């Protein structure tokens, strides 16, 4: 039995959608469906739409708003599987900006998903975070977990490639070659997503192997992205052996056609890939570019020359529906970048990209909704008192925005078949005559533009795409003036936080060059800025990330001043306010490291106490490092307490190292901990225990960068036990597999001595 499947390799928004559950379209409820099931499906649909809106907002450059939406989804939909997708996208967004700690927190939560793709991708992104932090060992553990737990996922191919890259970078050629050979061997069985009410996948059971037959339901592909085609056929291995080429044909409904060569991949020789870029620009057949239009269907055809049932030249096909996921943004006058605000009397320039709206050979038009809002004034103390006296009810939690005016904006396509639409709308002060192309507005209000996308990567379920800007008065129209002109408390708090961080940098520089008085002065200025943020938070709602970072800025400034105890108190205060924070333990780690460098035993003991505090935090991502550094402190304390009559006792330190290796086996500190344990066992001549430890290390850490040192130790253990042949084999393995490793020189020296 043969089959043809279509794979889509997408970027940006599509990468997020590929991680979304297959059951994104809720099944039509039967008469017996319970109210609970309907509520769950509705919650899933709402969470899914919210994720898409957040991703669209992120793509438009509104990072703060998009991250807020993603953070809210797990709270709004605590029972929906899509909460894991939200954490995944949140982790991806933080990773893209280099916020590694925040990324890890979100990605670790995403691993709780029951969906293979979400879990596998979360592990892959965690590995990329570790690689960015130069923690190759920890990254390799995560990558190995993907290849072990999700061998049929496409992410397994990425994992093998990254493992190969780790070994290649370290010049471990044999290991790198082994990993690179595995790239492409993970081929998932792709299911096309049917339209509502259309056909579904069928399974051919006649072969007894459970192979899937041709999938007739359409899949969605983003116009302008590369389309990948995967064919599984037993004839592929034969054709490859004979040197002949196999092809598929991709035909668009609008008339273009491309013949694509299939290239075998994988180890079984039964699969092949072909791809072609798509574009809305006109092109000729077989010119390497497939012309598509939004909403049309591309049919991929493969001719099976010899089917398993004896049939000849059986044409297998898979339809692919081409869609365009809309993106809406407010731009500057040159349409070069997004803007966050627009001044009264100046137009807001709108741009919409949606190829689905390109329905003719001439420039098309589209109308989008525009609404103007003003701030709802908060009730004063007198008003609240009067309402209480008269028995009236004032809703203090009412919508903070009041609609002023609404209308439509007409956008015109920039050129035929471009799929890009542009237009403008000018805000005028409320009360002025709002003529054509204008809308009434108020200072510090906002304009919201809304477009309904009826066809996108998730199908035909309508989704809302929005863009909004702050309405400003006076000043320059340059984008950078928006922050200083707006009175929004969030913008004010972020401005104060930025100033506090800059003052901390100045204070640090002054302290390093010995200007202590200037350093203290700059620190005090920074602390004043932080104080203003906290005062502002008492009157207005400030986002959590701003407040958390305000605490971080405060303890950094206190550390520059040398107020260690106050800095620790700030850390503990943050933990009380936000028990799940990831910033406080980071500060504790820095403080403990500073104390551990002291020669004063009391300071060293204080560092150990702080590391134990980190270990007691339920959500700390630094537990493995804290455990490892605690073991190092115990080792240092043993040396400090030693006397000529009493040698150092490392028992407690070795127990701590073993706890690090056993409690945090996937961390980059596990290997170093095992090295310390093995070295200690060799010094104590406990060779049998050392070999047990080494066998476990090689089973659990096949990609660790320090295995050459462990092999060297294994050779030493064998030699001391009298096993010269075993020792020789271990030393030779070091030279063969790790020729440029740190242990290669010693292994070569030991081999020469053994040969003599």
What's the pLDDT tens digit per position in 338-391?
777 888 888 889 999 888 887 777 888 999 999 999 887 776 767 667 766 776
Class at the top of the CATH hierarchy for domain 36-112 = mainly alpha
What is the rounded distance in angstroms from the CA atom of residue 428 to the CA atom of residue 448?
Answer: 15
CB 82 within 8 A of CB 48: yes
What is the rounded distance in angstroms from the CA atom of residue 313 to the CA atom of residue 515?
Answer: 84
Strand, coil or helix: what is 144? helix
pLDDT value at 274 more than 90: no
The chain-wide mean pLDDT, for the chain, equals 75
Closest among 328, 325, 324, 327 to 425, alpha carbons compared: 328
Count of residues for the chain?
Answer: 756
pLDDT value at 433 more than 60: no
What is the residue whose two structure tokens read 């590995």? 127
Task: Mean pLDDT check: name the lowest of 308-312, 338-342, 531-535, 584-588.
Answer: 308-312
What is the rounded distance in angstroms from the CA atom of residue 358 to the CA atom of residue 411?
Answer: 12
pLDDT value at 283 more than 60: yes
Confidence category of residue 195, pLDDT binned at 50, 70, 90: very low
Confidence category of residue 411, pLDDT binned at 50, 70, 90: very high
Domain ranges across the chain: 1-12+193-323, 36-112, 115-183, 327-485
Confidence category of residue 598, pLDDT binned at 50, 70, 90: low
pLDDT for the residue 186: 58
pLDDT for the residue 412: 92
Q: Tell me whether domains 1-12+193-323 and 115-183 share a fold.
A: no
What is the rounded distance in angstroms from the CA atom of residue 209 to the CA atom of residue 466?
Answer: 48
Residues sharing a CB contact under 8 Å with residue 296, sequence separation 6 or more, in sequence order: 252, 253, 254, 321, 322
Class at the top of the CATH hierarchy for domain 327-485 = mainly beta
Confidence category of residue 618, pLDDT binned at 50, 70, 90: low
CB 687 within 8 A of CB 715: no
- In our burial notation (b when 16+ CB lie closer than 10 A, e otherwise), range 188-215 reads bebebbbeeeeeebeeeeeeeeebbbbb
Highest averaged pLDDT of the listed ranges 428-437, 520-529, 669-678, 746-755: 520-529
What is the rounded distance in angstroms from the CA atom of residue 671 to the CA atom of residue 660?
Answer: 9
What is the rounded distance in angstroms from the CA atom of residue 120 to the CA atom of residue 151?
Answer: 10
pLDDT value at 207 more than 60: no
pLDDT value at 712 more than 80: yes
Strand, coil or helix: what is 596? helix
What is the rounded distance in angstroms from the CA atom of residue 218 to the CA atom of residue 574?
Answer: 51
Secondary structure of the chain: what % helix, strand, coil (to 5)?
Answer: 50, 20, 35
What is the rounded distance in angstroms from the CA atom of residue 127 to the CA atom of residue 432?
Answer: 57
Q: Distance from first CA to last CA of the chain, Å, rounded?
A: 63
What is the rounded distance in angstroms from the CA atom of residue 246 to the CA atom of residue 258?
Answer: 14
Residue pLDDT, tens place only, 479-500: 333 333 344 566 677 778 878 8
pLDDT value at 676 more than 80: yes
pLDDT for the residue 13: 32
What is the rounded distance in angstroms from the CA atom of residue 431 to the CA atom of residue 546?
Answer: 36
Q: What is the DSSP string of 54-109?
A: HHHHHHTT-HHHHHHHHHHHHHH-TT-THHHHHHHHHHHHHHHTT-HHHHHHHHHH
Written as six digits, the tokens of 421 are: 């639409």
Give the pLDDT mean for 556-562: 81
pLDDT for the residue 23: 41
Confidence category of residue 477, pLDDT binned at 50, 70, 90: very low
Closest among 633, 682, 667, 624 to 653, alpha carbons compared: 633
Give the pLDDT mean for 135-157: 78
Nearest-10 Cα torsion for 682, 684, 686, 692: -50
pLDDT for the residue 430: 66
Q: Does domain 1-12+193-323 have CATH number 2.40.160?
A: no
Highest averaged pLDDT of the listed ranges 15-24, 59-68, 652-661: 652-661
Give the pLDDT mean for 666-671: 71
CB 317 within 8 A of CB 4: yes
CB 428 within 8 A of CB 345: yes
Helix axes 724-737, 707-720, angle to 10 degrees: 170
Residues sharing a CB contact under 8 Å with residue 331, sequence separation 6 or more, in sequence order: 337, 338, 339, 349, 350, 351
- Within 170-218, residue ranges assigned H as helices are 173-182
Cα dist from 150 to 142, 186, 189, 223, whole Å: 12, 9, 13, 30
User: According to CATH, what is the number of the domain 115-183?
Assistant: 1.25.40
Written as six digits, the tokens of 439 are: 């809308």
Highest averaged pLDDT of the listed ranges 219-228, 337-346, 368-377, 432-441: 368-377
Give the pLDDT mean for 444-470: 84
Residue 514: burial class (beta carbons within 10 Å; 0-12, 13-18, 19+): exposed
Confidence category of residue 553, pLDDT binned at 50, 70, 90: confident
Backbone angles phi, psi at 316, to 5 degrees: -105, 140
What is the rounded distance in angstroms from the CA atom of residue 707 to the CA atom of residue 361?
Answer: 64
């Amino acid at each position: 039995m043969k089959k043809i499947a279509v794979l889509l390799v997408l970027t940006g928004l599509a990468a997020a959608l590929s991680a979304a559950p297959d059951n994104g379209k809720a099944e039509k409820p039967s008469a017996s469906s319970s109210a609970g099931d309907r509520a769950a499906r509705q919650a899933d649909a709402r969470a899914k739409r919210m994720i898409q809106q957040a991703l669209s907002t992120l793509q438009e450059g509104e990072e703060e708003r998009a991250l807020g939406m993603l953070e809210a989804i797990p709270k709004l939909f605590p029972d929906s599987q899509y909460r894991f997708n939200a954490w995944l996208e949140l982790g991806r967004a933080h990773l893209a900006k280099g916020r590694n700690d925040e990324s890890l927190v979100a990605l670790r939560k995403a691993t709780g998903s029951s969906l293979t793709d979400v879990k596998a991708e979360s592990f892959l992104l965690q590995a990329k975070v570790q690689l960015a932090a130069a923690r190759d060992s920890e990254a390799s553990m995560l990558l190995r977990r993907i290849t072990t737990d999700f061998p049929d996922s496409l992410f397994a191919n990425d994992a093998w490639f990254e493992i190969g890259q780790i070994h290649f970078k370290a010049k471990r050629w044999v290991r790198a070659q082994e990993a690179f050979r595995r790239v492409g061997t993970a081929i998932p069985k792709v299911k096309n997503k049917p339209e509502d009410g259309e056909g579904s996948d069928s399974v051919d059971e006649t072969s007894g192997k459970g192979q899937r037959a041709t999938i007739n339901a359409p899949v969605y592909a983003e116009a302008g992205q590369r389309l990948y085609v995967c064919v599984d056929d037993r004839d592929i291995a034969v054709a490859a052996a004979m040197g002949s080429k196999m092809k598929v044909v991709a035909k668009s409904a609008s008339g273009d056609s491309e013949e694509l060569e299939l290239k075998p991949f994988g180890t079984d020789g039964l699969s092949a890939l072909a791809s072609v870029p798509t574009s809305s620009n006109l092109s000729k057949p077989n010119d390497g570019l497939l012309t598509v239009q939004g909403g049309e269907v591309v049919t991929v055809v493969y001719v099976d020359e010899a089917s398993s049932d004896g049939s000849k030249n059986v044409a297998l096909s898979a339809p692919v529906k081409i869609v365009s996921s809309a993106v809406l943004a407010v731009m500057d006058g040159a349409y070069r970048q997004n803007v966050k605000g627009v001044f009264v009397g100046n137009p807001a320039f709108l741009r919409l990209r949606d190829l689905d709206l390109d329905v003719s050979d001439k420039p098309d038009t589209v109308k989008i909704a525009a609404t103007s809002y003003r701030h709802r004034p908060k009730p004063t103390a007198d008003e609240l008192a009067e309402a209480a006296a008269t028995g009236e009810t004032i809703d203090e939690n009412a919508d903070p925005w009041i609609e002023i005016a609404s209308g439509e904006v007409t956008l015109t396509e920039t050129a035929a078949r471009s799929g890009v639409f542009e237009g403008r709308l000018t805000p005028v002060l409320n009360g002025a005559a709002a003529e054509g192309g204008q809308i009434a507005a108020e200072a510090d209000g906002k304009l919201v533009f809304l477009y309904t996308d009826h066809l996108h990567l998730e199908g035909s379920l309508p989704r809302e795409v929005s863009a909004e800007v702050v309405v400003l008065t006076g000043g320059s129209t340059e984008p950078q003036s928006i922050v200083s002109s707006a009175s929004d408390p969030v913008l004010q708090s972020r401005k104060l936080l930025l100033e506090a961080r800059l003052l901390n940098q100045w204070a640090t520089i002054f302290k390093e060059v010995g200007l202590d008085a200037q350093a203290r002065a700059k620190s005090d200025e920074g602390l004043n800025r932080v104080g203003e943020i906290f005062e502002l938070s008492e009157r207005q709602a400030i986002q959590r990330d701003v407040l958390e970072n305000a605490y971080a800025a405060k303890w950094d400034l206190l550390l520059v001043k040398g107020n260690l105890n106050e800095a620790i108190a700030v850390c503990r205060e943050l933990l009380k306010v936000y028990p799940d924070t990831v910033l406080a333990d980071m500060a504790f780690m820095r403080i403990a490291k500073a104390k551990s460098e002291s020669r004063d035993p009391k300071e060293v003991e204080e560092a150990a106490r702080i590391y134990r505090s980190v270990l007691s935090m339920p959500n700390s991502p630094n537990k493995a490092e804290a455990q490892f550094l605690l073991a190092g402190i115990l080792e240092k304390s043993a040396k400090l307490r030693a006397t000529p009559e009493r040698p150092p006792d490392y028992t407690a330190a070795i127990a701590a190292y073993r706890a690090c290796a056993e409690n945090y086996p996937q961390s980059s500190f596990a290997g170093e901990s095992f090295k310390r344990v093995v070295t200690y066992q060799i010094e104590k001549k406990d060779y049998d225990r050392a070999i047990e430890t080494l066998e476990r290390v090689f089973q659990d850490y096949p990609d660790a960068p320090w295995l050459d040192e462990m092999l060297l130790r294994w050779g030493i253990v064998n030699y001391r036990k009298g096993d010269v042949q075993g020792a020789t084999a271990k030393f030779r393995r070091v030279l063969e597999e790790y020729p440029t490793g740190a242990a290669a020189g010693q292994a070569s020296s030991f081999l020469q001595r053994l040969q003599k």
